[in-house]
């Protein structure tokens, strides 16, 4: 057994030299850099996309209800949405941390320093801008278009779906704004996620933003720059996809 | 089969729009509601279209009082009535998607999801009734055009086709040609007559006396919060019994 391993050692050396030559200097300096960066991208996307998806499912119906029905406290709800848009993320992080801590109401679930806790805090942060912008765009749909949907035999649900369809560009903008807030946010994910990466170089709760902050502080500017560039490219790519989706109805 | 309003009264707050109005719309006839702007013609159409309940009286389709029914059953009655407004109010989609809207909402959710998926792949066929309806307004070639590329007159013709596409028993038109040029007006008026020939009961609210004379079989004059005169169009126009109706028809009574 030992003899076999000894015989393989030179071979392993050759392979590793070849890999390093091919992969370039970044991956030579830190053997686990590739895994490291990929796992950070994964955590960032997983957390932000989940938070924004959940928030959209929550926000659009809320915008429809607030936009088209009357109920006591409606002005208060609108005021809360507007205030929420400027809510400081560190405070949200702190509140979510208290909620999921052992003494908190969600303590049983053991969510401290997990992606799920990060999704919760990004949900709270993304919901006000998504609801607010979606509200503005659904109330911008003319009353006569809603009447037409109803007059043609639509149920209340059909009318609501038609309004969402008519407001699709505005809603796409809302989702983008929410995603922008979620993915570029540092404070709350740092507090509830803890910026954790394992000793094997795989991110557990480290996102692009918290990683850039950490790398910059440690003086590893090159890695920080790469991560920052990746963050920019991601935001641009998601923008492009959402704009293209919002355009779908127009192209037909 | 008839659509009828019996003794309907409608008020906004303390302000009574009209009171104790009777109107009977048989299938296959064009009924014109004439009266000056702001007299409540639109409000009356909204009652007939089952948008809102009357404060008093009843609106019945084929003898069934619509507002005595639960919402789901009323939906079935509502779906036998088509409405065209003064504004075309088209959806921001293609002409085809607009015209088939009424048919789409009548399908089951399962079929609708299926249709949406097929539309994504790009293989949809416009149902025959929708194609017919576009034919009636002379826009059969416009199927693939986006609604926002149409002129005002074309848009209103599509709106007419959209209400005709699901083959309603009654068609309510609220000042459908007041923003249109003579040519598009003529198309819409011909379409009204064509609809009546298909045994649809057509109600048109208009302040245009000439239009009422051209298209209507029966006329109701709505003035000063009630219907002061109604009957066959020839009789009402030639020999109105009510003095105010006569003055209004002759253009002596200006509002």
Q: Cα separation of B155 and B131, whole Å?
A: 16
Residues B39 and B68 in one domain: yes
Kindly tell me if the per-residue pLDDT of A246 is higher than 70: no
- Measured between alpha carbons, how far is B69 from B75 in angstroms, rounded to an integer? 9
Total structural domains in chain B?
A: 2
Same domain for B118 and B230, yes or no, is: no
Within a domain: B64: yes
Q: What is the mean pLDDT of residues A130-137?
A: 95
Q: Which of B120, B140, B167 is the last residue of a domain?
A: B167
Residues of B in contact with A249 (CB under 8 A): 92-93
Q: Using a pLDDT cut of 90, give the percent of chain A over it.
A: 65
Residue A190: how many other CB atoms lie within 10 Å: 21
What residues form DSSP beta bridges with B181? none
DSSP letters, chain A, are -HHHHHHHHHHHHHHHHHHHHHH-HHHHHSTTHHHHHHHHHHHHHHHHHHHHHHHHHHHHHHHHHHHH---TTHHHHHHHHHHHHT--HHHHHHHHHHHHSTTSTTGGG--TTSHHHHHHHHHHHHHHHHHHHHHHHHHTS-HHHHHHHHHTT--HHHHHHHHHHHTHHHHHHHHHHHHHHHHT--HHHHHHH---B-TTS-BSS--HHHHHHHHHHTT-HHHHHHHHHHHHHHHHHHHHHHHHHHHHHHH-
pLDDT surpassing 90 at residue A6 = no
pLDDT at A244: 75
**Inter-residue contact A179 to A163 (CB < 8 Å):** no
Among candidates A153, A155, A249 on the partner chain, residue whose Cβ is nearest the Cβ of B93: A249
For residue B85, tell me if it sits in a domain.
Answer: no
Confidence of residue B4 (pLDDT cuts 50, 70, 90): very high
Q: How far apart are CA A55 and CA A73, in angstroms?
A: 22
Instruction: Give the Cα separation of A42 and A49 in Å (integer).
Output: 10
Q: Are B183 and B253 contained in the same domain?
A: yes
- pLDDT tens-digit map of A179-211: 989 999 999 999 999 999 988 889 999 999 999
Residue B131 lies in a domain: yes
Q: Which of A144, A152, A155 sits opposite B101 (nearest CB)?
A: A152
Are B175 and B255 part of one and the same domain? yes
User: Do B74 and B173 sit in the same domain of this protein?
Assistant: yes
| ipTM of the complex as predicted | 0.91
Domain boundary among B167, B201, B225: B167
Interatomic CA distance for residues A81 and A83, integer angstroms:
6
Residue B86 lies in a domain: no
A147-185 pLDDT, tens digit each: 999 999 999 999 999 999 999 989 998 999 899 899 999
Question: How many other CB atoms are there within 10 angstroms of residue B41's CB atom?
Answer: 25
Find, in chain A, the residue whose alpha carbon is nearest to that of B96: A252
Q: Which two tokens stand for residue A205?
A: 């709760």
Residues B143 and B68 both lie in one domain: no
Angle formed by the axes of helices A74-85 and A115-139, nearest 10°: 120
Q: B12: left (phi > 0), else alpha (psi -120 to 50), else beta?
A: beta
pLDDT above 70 covers what percent of chain A? 84
Nearest to B91 among A151, A155, A162 (CB): A162
Task: List pLDDT tens digits, range A12-44.
Answer: 455 455 545 555 444 445 555 788 889 999 999
- Per-residue pLDDT tens over the stretch B123-164: 678 888 999 999 999 999 999 999 999 999 999 999 999 999
B173 and B71 share a domain? yes
Q: In this model, does residue A251 exceed pLDDT 50? A: no
**Residue B9 located in a structural domain:** yes
Identify whether residues B173 and B194 lie together within a single domain.
yes
User: What does the mean pLDDT of chain A come to?
Assistant: 85
The reply to whether B221 and B248 lie within a common domain is yes
Handedness of CA A217, A220, A225, A228 (dihedral sign): negative
Average pLDDT over residues B29-52: 92
B69 found inside a domain = yes
Instruction: Give A-chain residues touching B119 at CB under 8 angstroms.
Output: 252
Residue B151's domain spans which residues?
A: 91-167
Do B61 and B100 have their domain in common?
Answer: no
pLDDT tens sequence across A97-122: 999 998 989 988 899 999 999 999 99
Q: Which of A212, A132, A114 is nearest to A178 (CA)?
A: A132
CATH for A36-251 is: 1.10.3720.10
> What is the pLDDT, as a whole number, of residue A2?
47
Do the Cβ atoms of A149 and B159 come within 8 Å? Answer: no
Q: Residue B28's domain is classified under what CATH number?
A: 3.40.50.300
* Residue B163, min C-alpha distance to chain A (Å): 6
Smallest CA–CA distance, residue B247 to chain A, in Å, is: 34
* B21 and B146 both lie in a single domain: no
Residue B47 pLDDT exceeds 80 = yes
pLDDT the model gives residue A17: 52
Indicate whether B218 belongs to any domain: yes
pLDDT in tens, B65-74: 999 999 989 9
Q: Are residues B184 and B254 in the same domain?
A: yes
């Amino acid at each position: 057994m030992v003899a076999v391993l000894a015989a393989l050692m030179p071979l392993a050396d050759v392979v590793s030299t070849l890999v390093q030559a091919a992969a370039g200097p970044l991956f030579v300096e830190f053997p686990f850099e590739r895994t490291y960066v990929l796992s950070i991208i994964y955590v960032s996307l997983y957390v932000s996309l989940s938070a924004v998806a959940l928030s959209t499912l929550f926000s659009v119906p809320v915008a429809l209800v607030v936009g088209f029905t009357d109920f006591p406290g409606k002005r208060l709800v609108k005021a809360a949405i507007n205030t929420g848009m400027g809510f400081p993320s560190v405070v949200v992080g702190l509140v979510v941390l208290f909620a999921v801590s052992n003494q908190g109401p969600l303590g049983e679930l053991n969510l401290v320093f997990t992606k799920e806790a990060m999704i919760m805090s990004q949900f709270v942060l993304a919901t006000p801008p998504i609801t607010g912008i979606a509200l503005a765009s659904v109330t911008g749909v003319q009353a006569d278009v809603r009447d037409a949907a109803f007059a043609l035999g639509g149920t209340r649900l059909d009318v609501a779906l038609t309004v969402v369809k008519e407001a699709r560009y505005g809603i796409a903008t809302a989702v983008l704004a929410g995603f922008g807030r979620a993915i570029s946010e540092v404070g709350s994910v740092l507090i509830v996620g803890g910026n954790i990466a394992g000793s094997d170089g795989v991110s557990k709760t480290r996102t692009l933003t918290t990683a850039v902050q950490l790398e910059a502080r440690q003086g590893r500017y090159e890695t920080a720059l790469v991560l920052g560039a990746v963050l920019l490219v991601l935001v641009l790519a998601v923008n492009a996809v959402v704009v293209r989706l919002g355009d779908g109805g127009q192209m037909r | 089969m008839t659509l009828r309003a019996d003794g309907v009264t409608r008020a906004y707050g303390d302000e009574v729009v009209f009171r104790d109005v009777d109107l009977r719309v048989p299938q296959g006839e064009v009924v014109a509601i004439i009266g000056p702007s702001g007299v409540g013609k639109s409000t009356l159409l909204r009652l007939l279209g089952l948008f809102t309940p009357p404060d008093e009286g009843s609106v019945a389709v084929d003898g069934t009082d619509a507002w005595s029914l639960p919402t789901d059953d009323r939906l079935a009655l509502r779906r036998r009535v088509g409405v065209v407004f003064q504004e075309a109010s088209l959806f921001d989609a293609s002409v085809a998607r607009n015209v088939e809207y009424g048919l789409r909402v009548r399908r089951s959710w399962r079929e609708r999801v299926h249709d949406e998926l097929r539309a994504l792949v790009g293989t949809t066929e416009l149902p025959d009734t929708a194609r017919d309806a576009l034919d009636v307004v002379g826009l059969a070639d416009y199927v693939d055009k986006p609604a926002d590329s149409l002129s005002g007159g074309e848009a209103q013709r599509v709106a007419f086709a959209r209400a005709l596409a699901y083959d309603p028993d009654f068609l309510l038109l609220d000042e459908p040609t007041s923003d249109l040029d003579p040519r598009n007006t003529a198309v819409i008026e011909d379409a009204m007559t064509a609809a009546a020939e298909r045994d649809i009961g057509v109600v048109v609210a208009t302040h245009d006396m000439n239009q009422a004379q051209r298209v209507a079989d029966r006329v109701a004059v709505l003035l000063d919060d009630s219907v002061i005169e109604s009957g066959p169009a020839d009789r009402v126009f030639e020999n109105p019994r009510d003095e105010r109706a006569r003055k209004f028809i002759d253009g002596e009574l200006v509002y």
